[in-house]
Amino acid sequence: MGKKTKVALTIAAAGVAAWAGSKAVAKPQVRPEKEALQYGHPIVLAHRGGSHLAPENTMAAFKKAAELGVHGFEIDIRLTKDEEIIVFHDDTLNRTTDGTGRVADFTLRELKKLDFGYRFIDLDGELSYRGQGETVVTLKELLNEFPQMLVNIDIKDSPDTYEGSLTPSKLWRLIEELGAENRVVVTSFYDEQTDRFNLYAQNNVALGAGENEVRKAFASYSSQFGHLYKPRADVFQIPPKHSVFSLDSEGFIKFLAGLNIPVHYWTINDQSTMEKLLKAGAKGIVTDRPDIAMELMSEYQ
């Protein structure tokens, strides 16, 4: 046996020994149960209220999705100039309203004057909501209007901005004021925002995984040291694929399920993909087409 072969075998043996040792000592850190995530069947979350059926993030969209029987909403939030939390995705108003400029430069009163159905084109190619009085919705209005719904709240403002620095504390105070701790999930692409929110919430609210947490989980799953992964989120809301990595495998879903972490996939608008994900073990579908999703979901109730 050559010297290089002996070295390689020694390294391999050391790796196996390290794996076996860590496996014997480490125990999987299962996330504690959160009431908001205790559903006995897969669920449908209407993305921004179901943005292919009505203007996104408007009361019209939320009401239409609720009538279809969805289990909840997936929304984004931003802070206005006068520090009100509104349900809105983009940093600017240009794409969805008849206004222009950054959301953070407007007060809630100014935003209420804009037409939030101005640019919506329905499935028939019509501007069916223009001039119909659809306006901005605050998070408080949404939570009060739909007390039965699970609401996944994504903090969009960056932690490096003034508005982003205020959002975690203001969001917690609003959730606490409304007693909504057990019917919301709070997440952000910025893991720092979720961490800062949890400084106030103290694990009393279900937390979603940010980008770094997803990377960490997938790297742990793909290695031989998945048993060392210590999750910091209660639910993963992810796309089926990120870059070259497939996040929709049955194995990855089972890995997270073993840690008491359900997986929701976004943004899924065709029935065949929905069915594939549900068969793999997905616990939630985030969709712009709640009509399609609820038709399929009747088989899983």
| Cβ-contact 138, 86 below 8 angstroms | yes
Q: Is residue 182 scored above 70 in pLDDT? A: yes
Q: What is the three-state SS of the chain?
A: CCHHHHHHHHHHHHHHHHHHHHHHHCCCCCCCCCHHHCCCCCEEEEECCCCCCCCCCCHHHHHHHHHHCCCEEEEEEEECCCCCEEECCCCECCCCCCCCCEHHHCCHHHHCCCCCCCCCCCCCCCCCCCCCCCCCCEHHHHHHHCCCCEEEEEECCCCCCHHHHHHHHHHHHHHHHHCCHHHEEEECCCHHHHHHHHHHHCCCCEEECCHHHHHHHHHHHHCCCHHHCCCCCCEEEECCEECCEECCCHHHHHHHHCCCCCEEECCCCCHHHHHHHHHHCCCEEEECCHHHHHHHHCCCC
Task: Give the pLDDT score at 301.
Answer: 65
- Cα(148)–Cα(144) distance, rounded to whole angstroms? 9
Task: Give the pLDDT score at 26.
Answer: 52
**Weakest-pLDDT range from 12-26, 91-105, 134-148, 174-188:** 12-26
pLDDT band, very low/low/confident/very high, at 289 (cuts 50, 70, 90)? very high
Q: Which entry of 71, 89, 227, 264 is annotated as an active-site residue?
A: 89
Q: Is residue 1 scored above 90 in pLDDT? A: no
The candidate with the shortest Cα–Cα distance to 283, out of 204, 216, 185, is 185
Axis-axis angle for helices 290-297, 271-280 (nearest 10): 50
| Cβ-contact 245, 220 below 8 angstroms | no
Q: Is residue 56 scored above 80 in pLDDT? A: yes
The mean of the pLDDT values for the chain is 91
Task: Give the pLDDT score at 300.
Answer: 67
Token digits of residue 73: 């909403």
Q: Which entry of 47, 52, 71, 264 is annotated as an active-site residue?
A: 47
89 is catalytic: yes
Q: Is residue 23 scored above 70 in pLDDT? A: no
**Weakest-pLDDT range from 83-92, 169-178, 224-233:** 224-233
- Cα(254)–Cα(190) distance, rounded to whole angstroms? 25
227 is catalytic: no
Task: Output 298 or 198, whichever has higher pLDDT.
Answer: 198
pLDDT band, very low/low/confident/very high, at 21 (cuts 50, 70, 90)? very low
105-163: pLDDT as tens digits: 999 999 999 999 999 999 999 999 999 999 999 999 999 999 999 999 999 999 999 99
How many percent of the chain have pLDDT more than 70? 90
Tell me the CA end-to-end span of the chain in Å, nearest whole number: 62
- Cα(293)–Cα(68) distance, rounded to whole angstroms? 10
Task: Give the pLDDT score at 40.
Answer: 86
The candidate with the shortest Cα–Cα distance to 285, out of 62, 45, 36, is 45
Residues β-bridged to residue 47: 74
Task: Give the pLDDT score at 152.
Answer: 98
pLDDT band, very low/low/confident/very high, at 298 (cuts 50, 70, 90)? confident
CA 201, 206, 210, 215 dihedral sign is: positive
- Cα(182)–Cα(185) distance, rounded to whole angstroms? 8
Q: Is residue 12 scored above 70 in pLDDT? A: no
Q: Which domains does the chain have, with CATH numbers?
A: 43-297 (3.20.20.190)
Token digits of residue 200: 């106030």
Q: Is residue 47 scored above 90 in pLDDT? A: yes
Task: Give the pLDDT score at 107.
Answer: 98
- Cα(132)–Cα(63) distance, rounded to whole angstroms? 15
Task: Give the pLDDT score at 11.
Answer: 42
| Cβ-contact 282, 263 below 8 angstroms | yes
- Pairing type for strands 284-287 and 43-47 reads parallel
